[in-house]
Structure 1
Amino acid sequence: MVIEDGQGGMPSRDIILIRHGTTAWNLEKRYLGHTDIGLLPKAEQELSLLREELSSVTWDALYCSDLLRCRQTLIQIAPSQAGQAKLDPRLREIDFGQWEGLTYDQLKDNPQYRDWVDAPQKVTPPSGEPWTAFAARIDSFLEESLLSFTPILYSRNTDMPKIAVITHGGVIRYMVSRLIPDQGFWDTQVIPGQAIKIRLDGDGESWVGTRLTFP
């Protein structure tokens, strides 16, 4: 069954944005972008509640960053469907360049770092990824995978198509700011292993997102 709104006839869908579990660098509060490290040894225990909450969900689409910490999270929370997930490098965290692996205390006296904290859209970490490139690849993923009408999502008799995206904190903040009106990048706080649920409803020829209680 396809759920349609009363205006544009576009089907609704539920998006679950999931941040990967905790890594050693998360505990040490180090900037972690493209560096490919795995989860802590107790990941199974950390993610057990989320795995239980999602155990009854059959995903219509499942996307995952190709970095190890996200792939390990995927296996922990959706073991029966992990093989169906699409690994997508566009879902990687922003590349912090020369600031990868450093902490706030190590960077706080750096004027360029302070400028970046105030305006990450305008300042790029040395040898890092410009904000425009970060935003462009996530926008590309959103338009192709979440905001397009994808017939495969509606091939089964489901109450509401459900899509999971396992990715990184910065990516989730950006997605929420794009999907929900009046949400800024820093308005969303998401901890490792947390899931955020968004309902997307068609509004004419566009989508409007609403944050829902999870689960």
Structure 2
Amino acid sequence: MEIEAGHVGCLQSREIMLIRHGTTAWNLEKRYLGHTDIGLLPEAEHELSPLREQFSNVIWDALYCSDLLRCQQTLTQIAPTQAGKAKLDARLREIDFGQWEGLTYDQLKDNPQYREWIDAPQEVTPPKGEPWKAFADRIDSFIEKRLMSFSPIRHSRSINVPKIAVITHGGVIRYMVSRLIPNQGFWDTQVIPGQAIKIRLDGNGESWVGTRLTFP
């Protein structure tokens, strides 16, 4: 991905932690969950405790979170002392499944439009749902404005590589990985609730390339 940004010619790096929210009732029931704003299950506190422990000594240079409740609750669980400095961003929402929100595969499998969408989600839109282009455009905007334009000179508290955390949704993470890491398709990434994916992003202000790092 190429963008226009400052510090052209100066190599910059940053570590990005993409974190999927914890488990909701609809996740357990395998219902499509996009913009519907439901919270986490009570058991999510235990589910997210490993991330809370792993991040206990990390000072984030920037912290971004989807504005939906399940992500805000995840943020509070994994970064309780830094949650107040997080920036909520609606661009980080999951895709809106429209009339298919809350339904399961079994309820939709005989719907011809659903079958077409499964085969070509970039070309078919759920009824009253969000077109793929709109979904992709808003995430691209977030990537360019918040991840690639992030200046360590302005934001970092140390000379170390800046650390950025993004608490968001499964589809958003799949899309981000496909945009940041060469030769990664949307469905190549599997991410379960409460999982974090770590990426190192290197660039010069104009072109950037990401590498997935081992975590934990």
TMscore range, shorter length = over 0.9
Measure the CA separation in 1 of the matches of 2:205 and 2:79: 34
Measure the CA separation in 2 of the matches of 1:175 and 1:92: 12
Q: What SS does the aligned partner of 2:155 have?
A: helix
Counterpart residue type for residue 165 of structure 1: V
Measure the CA separation in 2 of the matches of 1:97 and 1:207: 34
Q: What SS does the aligned partner of 1:63 have?
A: strand
Are 2:12 and 2:204, in contact at CA under 8 Å, matched by a contact in 1? no
* Deviation of the 1:189 alpha carbon: 0.4
Measure the CA separation in 2 of the matches of 1:149 and 1:48: 29
Normalised by the length of structure 1, the TM-score is 0.94
Provide Cα deviations, 1:24-71, integer angstroms capped at 9, x if missing partner. 000000000000000001111110011101111100000000000000
- State how 1:1-215 maps to structure 2 within 5 Å: 8-150=9-151, 151-154=153-156, 156-202=157-203, 205-215=206-216
* Deviation of the 1:112 alpha carbon: 0.7
Measure the CA separation in 2 of the matches of 1:171 and 1:181: 17
Measure the CA separation in 1 of the matches of 2:204 and 2:128: 40
Over the aligned positions, Cα root-mean-square deviation in angstroms equals 1.3
Are 2:32 and 2:101, in contact at CA under 8 Å, matched by a contact in 1? yes
* Deviation of the 1:205 alpha carbon: 2.5
**Contiguous gaps of at least 5 residues in structure 2:** 1-7
Q: What SS does the aligned partner of 1:22 have?
A: coil
Measure the CA separation in 2 of the matches of 1:74 and 1:149: 21
Structure 1 segments (4+ residues) deviating >3 Å: none
* Deviation of the 1:8 alpha carbon: 4.1
Normalised by the length of structure 2, the TM-score is 0.93
Measure the CA separation in 1 of the matches of 2:11 and 2:127: 43
Counterpart residue type for residue 45 of structure 1: H
Count residues with an aligned counterpart: 208
Are 2:149 and 2:205, in contact at CA under 8 Å, matched by a contact in 1? no
Counterpart residue type for residue 167 of structure 1: T
Counterpart residue type for residue 163 of structure 1: I
Are 2:20 and 2:168, in contact at CA under 8 Å, matched by a contact in 1? yes
* Deviation of the 1:10 alpha carbon: 2.0
Measure the CA separation in 2 of the matches of 1:205 and 1:146: 13
**Contiguous gaps of at least 5 residues in structure 1:** 1-6
Counterpart residue type for residue 145 of structure 1: R
Match for residue 4 of structure 1?
none
Match for residue 3 of structure 1?
none
Measure the CA separation in 2 of the matches of 1:162 and 1:104: 38
Q: What SS does the aligned partner of 1:69 have?
A: helix
